[in-house]
């Protein structure tokens, strides 16, 4: 199988729904470039427009404005009136509800796209069987889909979406109705499958762990707008604003109370409620952070130690405080520490975890403290 | 313990009532079909009448004609209704609201009026269609209203509402992603419709088809008005004629009726078998955020136009014929149509006619009362069968639903017999028609009431019981007020049925007991088309007012139910059906 992915370019896409209560702009002037052969995740809370975006790429939803290009082929352009119907776009799609057809056998579900393309029954079945093999369902072709578990049904859906060798595979929260371990396993299998086939994947989810684990690139959407796009590490470590920081994981956001002063090496000194912090400034270039500035420090970036432990004051931020509250989480604990006029949350695997009232020292490297914007608009 | 005893008493009383309303008439006719002596007189039993019936070529021919007629009607109505349901529920074709509005009109237009309108269109000599053909130079008439194909056409178009509602309901619960998955597999709209959508709703389609079949077996207006003049006889008209010859060969008439009932019952039993497993293919979409309609693109207007064309022929054309004809002094070919001839004289006649007025009073009084009784019985049956803890509670439900398979003519004949035996002074009066109405329309009211109660959380009643209220107080203060708007809509639906039913008043009502449809039929038999159409326009006007009321009470019911029902169960996409649609759908 030598299907190779094509790029997906979205430019200026907008979609407004008219409801009984008025108009609702689901997607607003969205630009997104998905590289050929990449695994790109659109991440956002429900109602942020991520599914609508995916459905517009598929052709199931018609944008009000903008251009969509798959590879070198424009499949939608509001201006020139191009609108290639979904069945001619050469994309595959996996739905949240699986949408396997209960009146067809597993094999016939997967063979359907081939039969639709005019392939003979026998050929189609052979090819479908090998596709089933590839998703780990070899030998289950004769089953009725109602005899399959949820995870197996979704494998059928994936096989069906891939069997006609689409250049782009779209997945709309494909694993959200499955339970945790199975979800992780299917995600990894999908990743392997994608590398084998070299196909482009656009994956929609509201689950940040899936996004970080699977993707080459993550696009965070909120209220129909693109907030930030980048590699998982980039987004996790260097979010440009509060929304991305919070969406991707538990974090501390300290309000910046006064002017920043820059020292050698580009490091800035920032006054906050928990004291002066040394932090990395927002990346230069681009529009820069908007809204009130914040210092972002991930809960697990902070090291918690009993007072009196040895420290390196040159390279680290050092805060002294008193434990207010401890929440046991299994592999680790969340500890809230009162520092100055504020509170710092620390995720620590220190055993035994500190008790409320304990005096502790918190340290974290400069590069784990970043200055970001308070508004999502970047 | 107390509650169980109340339930038991209630259930026993209801059971006795249902047995009297349904089992007794059917038993009477079965018993009569085996008899050798006139009604009510003891004598030896025999199967001779069945042998006679089944060896009479005309009767055996009528069985064949019935099956051909009902089969043809089923094909026409299911295809058209199914297509309309697909266009309105699964595509983005414009005009869906109009389709939904028009498709419900046949519920409130008496079938006998539609039939006569079609006769005026298709009649060999005076028909509009042949008139138009002659005007463009056809040498001889092509259409003849008094034939089997014409009957299938008319009844088929008039019956598309029921399959439309049933198939639309099935399509609405389908997960749109199953179709989208097909489209993204490269399939076109038509391939998706035939390979994915149709197989998935096939159980609903076959269930709808069998119900249409059952109804067509019992249909009376079309066979009577179109079949009898042309010598096309079906079982309904055979029974009717045999009953009119009454009492000369009453035992044979009873045998006819039993065979007629048996055919309908077999098809209904088949329907019950199918619907028991009917949910196998329905894939309910989880959290459907998108309306998921198929974008038809270039064929949008084509499908919208053909949907409206179907309804134009099925609904609008007969109405136009009725209105225009009511204004004419006599039937005339369309080429001679001249608005200066229009007259309101027939309306004056209709408003002043003693017979029409008496029929209206009979319809209002008998139909209105019978509908109240029907809905009250239905509400209690539904409550006992959904709420009580009695082991055989479902039996009441099954019993009350059974009359769906009871053709009007058979029920009429059975009641004629029974009240000839029973010394109650209602034989050949309008009240006998009222009793027949209750039996005939109980199934629809029971299904509607059961659906209403099904949406009502039992916790509301349990809370009343925990507050110290007994059964009767809970039923009167909690259950009834909550389902009242829905029950009023059900009541209005039954009222509509009593105003459109022809077979029961035609068979049962003696002189002075006529109802409006039977007056229309009598006018038709004496070829007074303009008068009957003027009367028809007034009837349809009244029926539309009733439909408006039903819609209003359904809106109230929705608003009300929003307060107490689980909102997740009332999720509805697409066009909002009117109250009557809801009744019809839940009724079947």
Residue B117 has pLDDT above 70, yes or no: yes
Rounded to an integer, what distance in angstroms lies between the CA atom of residue B377 and that of residue B446?
8
Look at residue B372 in the predicted model and tell me its pLDDT.
Answer: 94
Whether residue B492 is predicted with pLDDT greater than 50 in this model: the reply is yes
- Cα distances from B214 to residues B70, B159, B402, in angstroms, run 8, 12, 12
Q: Which of A307-311, B206-210, B211-215, B395-399 has the lowest mean pLDDT?
A: A307-311
State pLDDT tens for residues B228-237.
999 999 999 9
A161 CB neighbours in chain B (<8 A) are 181, 184-185
Q: Does B183 touch chain A (CB under 8 A)?
A: yes
> B180, A99: Cβ pair inside 8 Å?
yes
Provide the pLDDT confidence category of residue B417 given band limits of 50, 70 and 90. confident
Least CB–CB distance from B185: residue in A98, A103, A164: A164
pLDDT at B574 over 50: no
C-beta atoms of A116 and B286 within 8 A: no
Dist CA B557 CA B550 (whole Å): 10
pLDDT of residue B477: 79
Report the residue from A83, A93, A102 with minimal CB separation from B184. A93
Nearest to A110 by CA among A120, A119, A100: A100
Q: Assess whether pLDDT exceeds 90 at residue B77.
A: yes
From CA B337, how far away is CA B324, in angstroms rounded?
A: 10
Taking contacts as CB-CB distances below 8 angstroms, the residues of chain B near A85 are 183, 295, 297
pLDDT of residue A259: 86
> pLDDT-based confidence at B580, cuts 50/70/90?
very low
A60·B182 Cβ contact <8 A: no
B575 touches chain A (CB under 8 A): no
Does residue B31 sit at the A interface (CB-CB below 8 Å)?
no
What secondary structure, in 3-state letters, does B359-396 show? HHHHHHHHHHHHHHHHHHHHHHHHHHHHHCCCCCHHHH
DSSP reduced 3-state for B259:
helix
Q: Report how far residue B365's alpha carbon sits from residue A24's, in angstroms, rounded to the nearest whole number.
A: 52
Q: Does the beta-carbon distance from B297 to A88 stay under 8 Å? A: no
φ, ψ of residue A359 to 5 degrees: the values are: -85, 130
B283/chain A closest Cα distance in angstroms: 8
Nearest CB to A97 within list B175, B191, B196: B175
Q: What is the pLDDT of residue A71?
A: 93
* A202 in Cβ contact with A57 (< 8 Å): yes
Asked if pLDDT for residue B342 goes beyond 80, the answer is yes
pLDDT at B279 over 80: no
How many percent of chain B have pLDDT more than 70? 90
Statement: residue B579 has pLDDT above 60: no
pLDDT tens per residue, range A170-202: 999 999 888 888 998 999 999 999 999 999 999
Minimum-distance CB partner of A117 among B175, B183, B186: B186
B302 pLDDT band, cuts 50/70/90, is: very high
Asked if the C-beta of B193 comes within 8 angstroms of chain A's C-beta atoms, the answer is no
Size of interface A-B (CB pairs under 8 A): 90
How do residues A233-277 score in pLDDT, each as one tens digit? 999 999 988 999 999 999 999 999 988 888 877 888 999 999 999
Residue B198 at interface with chain A, using a CB cutoff of 8 Å: no
In SS3 terms, chain A reads as CCCCCCCEEEEEEEEEEEECCEEEEEEEEEEEEECCCCEEEEECCCCCCHHHHHHHHHCCCCCCEEEEEECCEEEEECCCCEECCHHHCCEEEECCCCCCCCCCEHHHHHHHHHHHCCCCHHHHHHHHHHHHHHCCCCCCCCCEHHHCCHHHHHHHHHHHHHCCCCCEEEEECCCCCCCHHHHHHHHHHHHHHHHHHCCEEEEEECCHHHHHHHCCEEEEEECCEEEEEECHHHHHHCCCEHHHHHHHCCEEEEECCCCCEECHHHCEEEEECCEEEEEECCCCCCCCCCCCEEEEEEHHHCEEEECCCCCCCCCEEEEEEEEEEEEECCCCEEEEEEECCEEEEEEECCCCCCCCCCEEEEEEEHHHEEEEECCCCC
Say yes or no for a CB contact (<8 Å) between A99 and B195. Answer: no
- pLDDT computed for residue B288 by the predictor: 45
Check B184 against A101: CB less than 8 A apart: no
Q: Which of A51, A93, A161 sits opposite B289 (nearest CB)?
A: A51
Mean pLDDT rounded to a whole number for chain B:
84
Among A118-132, B57-71, B544-558, where is mean pLDDT lowest?
Answer: B544-558
| Structure ipTM | 0.78
CB proximity B180 to A under 8 Å: yes
The pLDDT value recorded for residue B582 is 44
Q: Which residues of chain A neighbour B180 with C-beta distances below 8 Å?
A: 58, 60, 86, 93, 95, 99
Candidate from B184, B200, B287 with C-beta closest to A86: B184
Q: SS3 for A10?
A: strand
Chain B residues near residue A95 by CB distance under 8 angstroms: 177, 180-181
Strand partners, A254: A295
Q: In the prediction, which pLDDT does B7 show? A: 79
Q: How far apart are CA B499 and CA B503, in angstroms?
A: 11
Residue B196 near chain A (CB below 8 Å): yes
For residue B101, pLDDT beyond 50: yes
What is the model's pTM?
A: 0.82
User: pLDDT digit string (tens) for B358-387?
Assistant: 999 999 999 999 999 999 999 989 988 888
* Residue A377: predicted pLDDT: 54
- pLDDT of A345 reads 95
Nearest to B485 by CA among B574, B568, B550: B550
Residues of chain A falling short of pLDDT 50: 1-3, 378
CB-nearest partner of B175 from A58, A92, A99: A99
pLDDT one-digit tens code per residue, A344-354 = 999 998 888 88
Q: How far is B192 from chain A (nearest CA, A)?
A: 10
Question: CB of B87 within 8 A of CB of B252?
Answer: no
Look up residue B157 and give its two tokens: 């178009």
Residues in chain B: 588
Flag whether pLDDT at B413 surpasses 70.
Answer: yes
Q: What are A311's two structure tokens?
A: 């420290």
pLDDT, residue A364, reads: 92
Q: What is the pLDDT of residue B560?
A: 61
Alpha carbon distance A202, B291 (integer Å): 22
Q: Distance between CA atoms of A273 and A253, rounded to whole angstroms?
A: 11
Among B91, B175, B181, the strongest candidate for a mutation testing the A interface, having the largest count of A CBs within 10 A, is B181
């Amino acid at each position: 199988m030598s299907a190779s992915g094509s790029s997906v370019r979205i430019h200026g896409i907008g979609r407004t729904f008219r409801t009984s209560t008025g108009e609702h702009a689901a997607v607003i002037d969205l630009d997104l470039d998905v590289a050929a052969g990449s695994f790109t995740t659109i991440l956002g809370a429900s109602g942020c427009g991520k599914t609508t975006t995916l459905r517009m790429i598929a052709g199931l939803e018609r944008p009000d404005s903008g251009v969509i290009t798959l590879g070198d082929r424009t499949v939608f352009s509001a201006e020139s009136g191009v609108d290639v119907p979904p069945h001619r776009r050469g994309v595959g799609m996996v739905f949240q509800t699986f949408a396997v057809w209960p009146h067809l056998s597993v094999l016939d579900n997967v063979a359907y796209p081939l039969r639709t393309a005019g392939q003979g029954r026998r050929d189609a079945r052979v090819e479908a069987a090998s596709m089933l093999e590839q998703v780990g369902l070899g030998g289950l072709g004769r089953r009725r889909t109602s005899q399959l578990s949820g995870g197996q049904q979704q494998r059928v859906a994936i096989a069906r979406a891939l069997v006609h060798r689409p250049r782009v595979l779209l997945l709309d929260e494909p694993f959200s109705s499955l339970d945790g371990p199975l979800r992780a396993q299917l995600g990894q299998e999908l990743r392997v499958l994608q590398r084998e086939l070299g196909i482009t994947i656009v994956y929609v989810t509201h689950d940040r762990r899936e996004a970080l684990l699977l993707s080459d690139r993550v696009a965070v959407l909120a209220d129909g707008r693109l907030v930030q796009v980048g590699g998982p590490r980039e987004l996790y470590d260097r979010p440009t604003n509060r929304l991305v920081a919070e969406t991707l994981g538990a974090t501390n956001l300290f309000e910046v109370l006064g002017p920043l002063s820059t020292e050698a090496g580009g490091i800035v000194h920032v006054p906050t409620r928990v004291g002066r912090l040394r932090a990395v400034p927002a990346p230069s270039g681009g529009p820069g952070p908007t809204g009130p500035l914040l210092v972002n420090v991930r809960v697990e970036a902070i090291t918690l130690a009993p007072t009196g432990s040895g420290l390196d004051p040159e390279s680290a931020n050092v805060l002294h405080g008193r434990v207010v509250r401890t929440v046991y989480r299994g592999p680790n604990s969340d500890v809230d520490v009162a520092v100055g006029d504020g509170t710092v949350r620390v995720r620590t695997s220190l055993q035994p975890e500190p008790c409320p009232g304990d005096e502790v020292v918190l340290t974290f490297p400069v590069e784990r403290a970043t200055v970001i914007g308070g508004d999502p608009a970047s | 313990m107390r509650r169980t005893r109340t339930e038991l008493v209630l259930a026993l009383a209801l059971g006795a009532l249902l047995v009297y309303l349904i089992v007794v008439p059917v038993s009477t006719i079965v018993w009569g079909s085996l008899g050798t002596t006139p009604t009510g007189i003891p004598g030896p039993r025999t199967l001779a009448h069945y042998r006679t019936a089944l060896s009479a070529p005309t009767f055996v021919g009528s069985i064949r004609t019935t099956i051909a007629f009902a089969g043809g009607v089923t094909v026409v109505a299911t295809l058209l209704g199914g297509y309309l349901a697909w266009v309105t529920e699964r595509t983005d074709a414009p005009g869906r609201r109009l389709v939904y509005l028009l498709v419900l009109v046949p519920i409130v237009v008496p079938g006998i009026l539609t039939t006569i309108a079609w006769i005026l269109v298709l009649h060999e000599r005076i028909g509009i269609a042949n008139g138009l053909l002659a005007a463009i130079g056809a040498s001889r008439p092509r259409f003849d209203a008094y034939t089997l194909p014409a009957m299938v056409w008319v009844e088929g178009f008039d019956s598309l509402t029921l399959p439309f509602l049933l198939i639309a309901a099935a399509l609405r619960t389908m997960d749109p992603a199953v179709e989208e998955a097909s489209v993204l597999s490269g399939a076109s709209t038509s391939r998706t419709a035939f390979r994915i959508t149709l197989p998935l709703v096939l159980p609903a389609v076959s269930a709808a088809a069998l119900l249409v079949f059952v109804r067509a077996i019992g249909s009376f207006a079309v066979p009577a008005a179109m079949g009898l003049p042309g010598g096309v006889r079906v079982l309904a008209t055979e029974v009717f004629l045999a009953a009119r010859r009454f009492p000369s060969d009453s035992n044979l008439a009873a045998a006819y009726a039993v065979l007629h009932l048996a055919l309908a019952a077999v098809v209904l039993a088949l329907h019950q078998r199918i619907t028991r497993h009917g949910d196998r293919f329905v894939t309910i979409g989880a959290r459907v955020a998108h309306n998921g309609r198929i974008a038809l693109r270039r064929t949008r207007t084509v499908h919208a136009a053909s949907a409206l064309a179907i309804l134009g022929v099925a609904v609008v054309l007969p109405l136009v014929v009725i209105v225009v004809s009511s204004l004419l002094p006599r039937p005339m070919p369309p080429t001679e149509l001249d608005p200066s001839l229009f007259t309101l004289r027939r309306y004056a006649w209709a408003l002043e006619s003693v017979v029409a007025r008496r029929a209206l009073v009979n319809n209002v009084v008998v139909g209105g009362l019978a509908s109240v009784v029907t809905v009250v019985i239905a509400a209690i049956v539904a409550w006992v069968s959904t709420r009580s803890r009695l082991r055989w509670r479902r039996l009441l439900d099954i019993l009350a639903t059974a009359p769906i398979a009871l053709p009007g003519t058979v029920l009429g004949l059975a009641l004629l017999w029974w009240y000839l035996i029973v010394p109650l002074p209602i034989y050949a009066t309008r009240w006998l028609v009222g009793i027949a109405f209750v039996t005939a329309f109980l199934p629809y009211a029971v299904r509607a009431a059961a659906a209403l109660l099904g949406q009502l959380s039992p916790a509301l009643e349990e809370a009343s019981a925990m507050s110290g209220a007994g059964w009767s107080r809970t039923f009167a203060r909690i259950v009834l007020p909550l389902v009242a708007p829905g029950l009023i809509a059900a009541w209005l639906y039954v009222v509509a049925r009593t105003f459109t039913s022809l077979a029961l008043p035609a068979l049962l009502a003696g002189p002075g007991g006529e109802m409006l449809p039977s007056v229309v039929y009598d006018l038709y038999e004496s070829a007074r088309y303009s008068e009957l159409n003027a009367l028809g326009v007034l009837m349809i006007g009244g029926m539309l007012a009733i439909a408006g009321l039903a819609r209003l009470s359904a809106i109230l019911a929705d608003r009300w139910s929003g307060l107490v029902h689980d909102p997740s169960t009332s999720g509805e996409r697409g066009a909002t059906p009117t109250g009557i649609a809801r009744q019809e759908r839940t009724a079947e």
